[in-house]
Amino acid sequence: MINDLKKDSEQRMLKTLESLEQGFAKVRTGRAHPSILNGVMVPYYGSDVPLNQVANVGVEDSRTLIVQPFERTMVAAIDKAIRESDLGLNPITADSIRVPLPALTEETRRDMQKIARSEAENAKVAIRNIRRDVLGDIKALLKEKEISEDDERRAGDDIPKNH
């Protein structure tokens, strides 16, 4: 019973950490990285799909991404999707799409710092909530007399040590 709660909490915490990593991947560091475009959705035959499902995204140099669509007819749609994303990027279109990354200004750095801090804070809050939920479940088991006070104390001590 307690082991199930521990495993569940550990899985939920790992999902939170994965989400945090994805959030950090969205933060621009001034270097070109294909994950910058992960959140871009492109209209494709009536539905929006992630950019990486309709094109290859690679790094041309340290400040330029290159997007090579699988179908040439997708160039205009991909260009439009990148422009309309909230990334502030202006692609250059030819057979493939070049996406130059602008140099980071002081203001942009501050914005990226704010985004990173908020992502980290959201993850901390989520992990705290997971711990609180599991500790509440353990206390409920104690009230229902399914576990002893010693088991409750041991389990309570183990939960914060997960992450």
pLDDT tens readout for residues 109-137: 898 899 999 999 999 999 999 999 998 99
pLDDT tens readout for residues 12-69: 999 999 999 988 877 777 788 888 888 899 999 889 999 999 999 999 988 899 999 9
Residue 161: is its pLDDT beyond 90? no
pLDDT of residue 132: 92
98 and 40 both lie in a single domain: yes
Q: What is the CATH number of the domain that holds 99?
A: 3.30.1360.40
Boundary residue ending a domain (53, 84, 103)? 103
pLDDT of residue 142: 85
pLDDT tens readout for residues 53-81: 999 999 998 889 999 999 988 999 999 99
The tally of domains found in the chain comes to: 2
Output phi, psi for 90, to 5 deg.
-120, 100
Q: How far is CA 101 from CA 4, 66, 73, 112, in A?
A: 47, 11, 24, 14
41 and 89 both lie in a single domain: yes
Q: What is the pTM of this model?
A: 0.68
112 and 99 both lie in a single domain: no
Domain that holds residue 139: 2-22+107-161
pLDDT of residue 91: 92
pLDDT of residue 19: 92
14 and 52 both lie in a single domain: no
